[in-house]
Amino acid sequence: MWFKVLEPGTLSEGDVRSVHCAGRALCVLKANGQFAALDDACPHQGAPLGDGWVEEGLLICPRHAWAFDPFKGSLAGSEVQEITTYPIEERDDGVYVAVPEPRKKP
């Protein structure tokens, strides 16, 4: 399901934000002219990645400066996905992220 998470023009190059949608905390950013969306918790100690910054196209964790490829969810230079990423697209009326529907309790 697609959810609108930002209004048009909210993120400039290098901006990072924490957003909530469908019961998830996500980190949304713009790097190298593209948007990225991933879980908003560093796999190391759970720091909110939305408090981080972009440096040379990488998302830097605010706690220990671990660098992640925001499009793959991997540590810089690795191919192992550490953080779940989500499809994201910019539309005329805002920025949308696709996340699975929340699980229904039995």
Q: Provide φ and ψ at 51, rounded to 5°.
A: -90, 0
Mean pLDDT over 100-104 rounds to 72
- Three-class secondary structure of residue 38 per DSSP: strand
pTM of the model: 0.90
Does pLDDT of 64 surpass 70? yes
The Cα angle at residue 86 between residues 103 and 11, in degrees rounded to 5: 125
Where does the pLDDT of residue 101 fall: very low under 50, low under 70, confident under 90, or very high at 90 and above?
Answer: confident
pLDDT of 53 reads 97
